Structure 1
Amino acid sequence: MAVARFKDLCLDARDHQAQADWWCAVLGYVRHESGDGPRDPTWPVPLRDPSGAGPFLWVNPVAEPKTVKNRMHLDVVGDLAGLLAAGATMVRSRAEDRPWDVLADPEGNEFCAFRPEA
């Protein structure tokens, strides 16, 4: 019997506002606005998939820079050239035994990029 259920994904960032904008641009997500007026810019930024298909993503402000490999990461399906042009960096290219590229977002958070199926 489960004692918990999946709710959201959270990503820590030093510049959480810029990271929220970056992830919105590459995923097609939008900032989730509440009806309570403008959100305090020092608070975490909630992002949502406008189609409703993807999970909710929070970009949380933290003071410390990223220093070690992520223990959990995002997997995306997308255009490698487009991701790199948007500011991602290549960490490890796909190989015969691994059909995905490992990239990093502008703050160095690793994510795996799978190519769209033909």
Structure 2
Amino acid sequence: MTYPVLISTALDARDPRGLAEFYCELLGLHYREGGEPPTEGPDDTDWLVLLDEQDRRIVAIQEKTDLRPSTWPSEEIPMQAHMDFAVPDAEELEAQRERAERLGARLLMDRSGDPDEPLYVMGDPEGHPFCLLVW
């Protein structure tokens, strides 16, 4: 039997380039060839694909100008989807939370003291929730 293979998670963004830069910095990704920021003229890119060190697709970002960011944990505008990013220990969890905030993320929930699964729920610059967790 053949199964479909997940090749990336696609995220909507009002500012696709800004969100792509956030995930490039946060996860150490790079642009698929042709998706790099332009060196001159306007940036009218509405679809970007980000790759890992082995050139595997990880995140795709598409422009959606009327995006309404999630208000999670309020259900006014639900989460709809989120990504989980694992770190090896509590020290790295703190370092990555601080780093994500410097890159433009905001803290939505602090469960770093949970003895079974310490984690932070963060919002990326476009409001998409994601988790940083010890795994």
Q: For structure 2, list consecutive stretches of 5 or more residues without a partner in the other structure.
A: 71-76, 88-95
1:60-107 deviation digits (Å, cap 9, x = unpaired): 100212242322211113521111122110100014265211000111
Pair 1:113-2:128 in alignment: no
1:19-55 deviation digits (Å, cap 9, x = unpaired): 1111101111011114xxx7x8333011001x22865
Q: C-alpha distance in 1, partners of 2:15/2:84?
A: 21
Map of 2:20 onto structure 1: 20
TM-score by length of 1: 0.78
1:82 match: secondary structure: helix
Map of 2:83 onto structure 1: 74
Count matched residues. 111
**What's the CA shift for 1:3?**
5.4
Q: C-alpha distance in 1, partners of 2:85/2:78?
A: 18
Paired residues for 1:61-100 under 5 Å: 61-65=63-67, 66-67=69-70, 68-77=77-86, 79-94=96-111, 95-96=113-114, 98-100=117-119
Map of 1:59 onto structure 2: 61
Map of 1:44 onto structure 2: 47
**What's the CA shift for 1:2?**
5.4
Q: C-alpha distance in 2, partners of 1:54/1:77?
A: 18
Quote the sequence identity (%). Answer: 27
Return the match for 1:104 from 108, 119, 123: 123
